[in-house]
Structure 1
Amino acid sequence: MSEALEKAREWEKMHCRTAVEKPFFHVCAPTGWINDPNGFSQYKGEYHLFYQYHPYNKHWGPMHWGHSKTDDFIKWLQMPCAMAPDEAFDGQGCFSGSAVEFQGKHVLMYTGVTQKEKDGKIVINQNQCIAFGDGKDYIKYPYNPVITAQQMPQGSSKEDFRDPKIWKDNDKFYTIIGSRGEDGSGQLGLFESEDIVNWKFVTILERCENRYGKMWECPDFFEIGDTAVIIVSPQEMQAEGLEFHNGGGTLALVGNYNKKEHLFQRKKVTAVDYGLDFYAPQTLKSEDGRRIMIGWMQNWDTYLVPENMTWSGIMTIPRQLEIRDGSLYQNPVRELENYYSNEVKIGKVRLEGERSFEGINGRSIDLTVEIYEDGKSEFSIRFASNEYFYSEIIYSPEKEILTFDRTYSGLVKDVISRRSMKVKKREGRIKVRLLLDRYTVEIFVNDGEQAMSSLIYTSLDAEKIMFYGDGSVISILKYDVVL
């Protein structure tokens, strides 16, 4: 073990946050800072999640790989730091990547960052490296990097070449890697290997062509049935209506894939999540065949973490992905139901003004509200509420727009607090599912047709939930989530 990795592990032992501070069923930083999920994979019957990690303070710094594992996607065990930037090929950072099992080993594939001075300027290079491990300890391949930017087509960036997603198909391994092309915008390079250490360039699988942001980070590629999906996180997006917002977003490119020709045919491009805090998701295939996705629940441009907190960074609930009518649907993994308690059901009731219901409150709950009839004006749910603070979901039946607003959640900085999305009625109604876990707010509309993820750092004693409507007819189903 290197001195840098040993130092990180010792720091974790001394500074790991207490259970009182953390969410109940969401992965969060053990100490310091975390961002992108990495290496989300199955190995020897357990599911592993790594993440970009700076253990020494709650801001981005030299990137390590933090590590957690689970057997049900809900209860997570904190593992020791897996990698530190401690080699000549990754001395400026072990950036994002993925993982796969091979010959009994857990193989991590990641971006190693190096820099040197040339002609008075700092030159940064990003190349792909691997490490072999046993689920706890990992040894970096001595002949790293295994893929270099020089293998990409002429004109491709040497600095922006990162975030490999690896998978196995029949007897070959494949990886897609985010890059910038000659036009300065995002492209995805596809590589293949028979032995996981020797790789050759295959093709450019997809290109941005300056249509959706610039650099495409953290790509993922998978198939659900006959449908192929590429997920990317573009930088420098510009807003388009309510579908795409400014800054760093996440897109799903849905289409078909010809494996023989390595040709992806794009049919649809949509946002993956419409919330204020969602980026860089990664997926795995579960033991029972489900495609499971987890994302980083934060926004690069909006930093909300209170001064008194010693850590920064939370992941979303793992979500089951499905394709329905050519669109990507997502819902919390069904294992969450094993932790339900205190069911409360409210049959159809007409709202006339403000209303609360006995047993419907809390900050660790799964709450579903169905809106059957349009009222005369907007319908809203206020939650994480007390006499001073609240966050709010607002539904406009006339405009068919759903909005999340955390303006009054206790923020003391002028940050983005409100975001909206267009929703569709299904058989004259909409269904809104609200999943709360202390600081996290995840909204799923119409059985997963759309999702909206955001953070709130409201005082944890704010637990009230209020419903507002002028003629709206609703029903409610609520569970506490207890671990």
Structure 2
Amino acid sequence: MKQQCLTNEEIDSLENNAKTIDDKYRLKYHLMPPVGWLNDPNGLCYYKGQYHIFYQYAPEDPTGGRKYWGHYTTKDFVHFIKEKTALFPNHRYDSRGAYSGAAIVVDDKMHVFYTGNVKHIGDYDYITDGREHNTMYSYSDDGVHFKGKMCLLTNVDYPQEMTRHVRDPYVIKKDDFFYLFLGARSKENIGVILVYQSSNLHDWKYLKTICSDEPFGYMWECPSYVELDQKQILICSPQGVESQKYKYQNLYQSGYFIIDGDFRENYTLSTFFELDYGWDFYAPQVVQSNDERKILIAWMGMPDVVYTNPTVEKGWQHALCLPREISWKNDKVYQYPIAETKQLREHKHVFTLEKNKEITLEDIVFEMHLDKLAKKSFDIKLRQDFELHYHNQIVHITMKESGCLRDTREFLVESIEDITIFSDTSSIEIFINKGEYTFTTRIYDVLQAKIESTIDIPVTYYKLRNYEIKNDSK
């Protein structure tokens, strides 16, 4: 009888026989699935001298399917090892997928928490009935091999007013206790975060529910908690938020609340702030580096959207965004590619992009800095169809056919001083005012960068080299 999920050997065979290498849109300096589907980053942590980047992985189908945990490791965010698949949906309580979660290092062990997805066969809506979202646990002594899998919480352990949508555990230690955050959807279709407390990582007691003063969407996915400059930041991805002209324009959003007070006792949440204004940014998670920087990584994609990436034809889909250091400045979260990204630079060119004069760049895989933009309106063409316009404090971006149904986006920026662009074969990440605003998207064009502007702009350009990724040999 065939196993309920693939073995590592079967996944290795899928990866080794994949045709993904033939795809011109494979990214050069972003992490992707070897084959199949990738979504949320999971279990980000620094353990035994290296960073561990897990991710939702469906190797059997580039449009999704049964989820495993894929795994990359790195010491410098330039050289990576593609490790063996880490977690499998091979348990009674995770049979339909090892869904998203987090890791924490305690007593020289990596402790992993994730959602075990189970869907029952029958006439169910899979919101109020027919689904189990179980909080699962496993641990590792080396960061690669996992054991001790067990179920910690099931539907009966969540508050009765919750639907069956309770998932994406994130664990922190604060003072003498561990706290587990779970994204949830109430029976009144209100997004919330459930908080549990433990002294030993195994026995969890419900503590409270974190919610906004007014309902904000019907589900808060992928919670993450970080403290920046003594500010408590609750990151999550709300679903069901009504779009506005310049805000909340994606199907689902990703951003943060500021917690005023102690989330364990009396607190208030600020309004919600978006983290990225592009089409492809979701489920961000934060890891603390070995030198205490806070590094954010997100899925460069979006669930449940109508558009499909043309890479599906080659057997793969999606990627992770550039790792970004986040900081607290000017009363908001800034994010900017981590310093290690500079190691990718190869050739530097400094020039002036003259008004209405088209320039063909050396390579479409680049880092580019546009300076001295203060108090100016301008129009910039960056790739075949990608245009950025700035007038009357409105950033207007178009991608036309290269966006594959990602077409037009607008958001407000009071003033632009500078812009940094990271362009890869099929992605663009834009950082305005050194990370005050960001914009992330996939794009599919002719892979030739011709740039043009309506004003003179000083430019610093770097051609970037590829990530170096090796397969695990153990």
Same fold (TM over 0.5): yes
Task: Tell me how far 1:171 sits from its aligned partner.
Answer: 3.5
Task: Give the alignment of 1:325-364 within 5 angstroms.
Answer: 325-347=330-352, 351=355, 353-356=356-359, 360-364=361-365
Deviation at 1:16, TM superposition (A): 7.6
In structure 2, runs of 5+ residues without a counterpart are 467-474
Q: Give the CA deviation at 1:43.
A: 1.2
Q: Structure 2: which amino acid aligns with 1:482?
A: R
Corresponding residue for 1:379?
379
1:4 to 2, 6, 12: 6
Tell me by how many angstroms 1:269 deviates: 1.9
From the superposition, tell whether residues 29 and 264 of structure 1 become closer, same or farther in structure 2 (CA, over 3 Å): farther
Q: What do the CA deviations read for 1:413-468 (whole angstroms, capped 9, x no partner)?
A: 5x23221221122xxx5211110121110000011000000001223xx3223212
Partner of 2:418: 431
1-structure distance, mates of 2:335, 2:92: 41
Q: 2:92 aligns with which of 80, 88, 93?
A: 88
Q: Under a length normalisation based on structure 1, what TM-score does the superposition of the two structures give?
A: 0.88
Q: Which moved more, 1:276-285 or 1:249-258?
A: 249-258
* Aligned residues of 1:371 and 1:473 also touching (Cα < 8 A): no
Q: How many residues are aligned here?
A: 456
Equivalent position amino acid for 1:365 in 2: F
1:129 to 122, 127, 136: 136
Structure 2 match to 1:60? 64
Instruction: Give me the whole-angstrom Cα distance separating, in 2, the residues matched to 1:235 and 1:444.
Output: 25
Offset of residue 323 of structure 1: 0.5
1:9-88 mapped onto 2 (5 Å cutoff) = 9-15=12-18, 17-18=20-21, 22-88=26-92
Match of 1:406 in 2: 399
Partner of 1:160: 165
Indicate which of 453, 459, 462 corresponds to 1:476: 459
Residues of 1 paired with 2:151 and 2:440: CA distance? Answer: 36
**Contact preservation (8 Å) 1:187, 1:208:** no
* Residue 219 (structure 2) aligns with: 215
The offset of 1:250, in angstroms, is 0.7
Could you list the per-position Cα deviations for residues 108-132 of structure 1 after superposition, in whole angstroms to 9, with x for gaps in the alignment? 1000112335788871110100111
Residue pair 1:374, 1:473 contacting (<8 A) in 2 also: no
The CA deviation string for residues 363-422 of structure 1, in whole angstroms up to 9 with x for no partner, is 2111011243666x6421232x3xxxx3222222xx12222221142x6x5x23221221
After TM superposition, give the deviation of residue 12 of structure 1 in Å: 3.0
Q: Give distance in 1, aligned partners of 2:429 and 2:215.
A: 30
TM-superposed CA distance for 1:355, in Å, is 3.2
Q: CA deviation at 1:154?
A: 2.6
Match for 1:179 among 179, 184, 189?
A: 184
Aligned with residue 236 of structure 1, among 233, 240, 255: 240
Structure 2 contact 116–136 (Cα < 8 Å) conserved: yes
Aligned to 1:323: 328
CA contact (8 A) 2:23 2:314 kept: no
Q: Distance in 1 between matches of 2:214 and 2:67?
A: 29
* 8 A Cα contact 2:132 2:154, kept in partner: no
Letter matched to residue 443 of structure 1: I
* Partner residue in 1 for 2:389: 394
**Deviation beyond 6 Å, 4+ runs, structure 1:** 118-122
Helix, strand or coil for the counterpart of 1:308?
helix
The reply on whether 1:149 has 2:162 as its aligned counterpart is no
Q: Structure 1 residues 16, 150: CA separation in 2 closer, same or farther (over 3 Å shift)? A: farther
| 2:422 counterpart SS class | strand
Distance 1:329 1:3 in 2: 41
Over the aligned positions, Cα root-mean-square deviation in angstroms equals 2.4
The equivalent residue for 2:371 is 370
8 Å contact 1:341–1:480 — kept in the other structure? Answer: yes
Percent identity of paired positions between Structure 1 and Structure 2: 25
Paired with 1:275 and 1:233, the residues of 2 have a C-alpha distance of 14
Q: CA deviation at 1:271?
A: 0.8
Deviation of the 1:206 alpha carbon: 2.7
User: Is the partner of 1:106 in helix, strand or coil?
Assistant: strand
- Name the residue aligned to 2:434: 447
Higher RCO, 1 vs 2 (CA within 8 Å, ≥6 residues apart): 2
Structure 1: 5+ residue stretches without partners: none
Cα distance change on mapping 1:307 and 1:156 into 2, 3 Å: closer
Deviates more, 1:31-40 or 1:361-370: 361-370
1:139 alignment partner in structure 2: 147
TM-superposed CA distance for 1:285, in Å, is 0.7
Alignment partner of 2:46: what SS? strand
Structure-2 separation of matches of 1:283 and 1:121: 33
Cα distance in 2 for residues equivalent to 1:5 and 1:209: 46
Matched, 1:108 2:108: no
What TM-score, normalized to structure 2?
Answer: 0.90
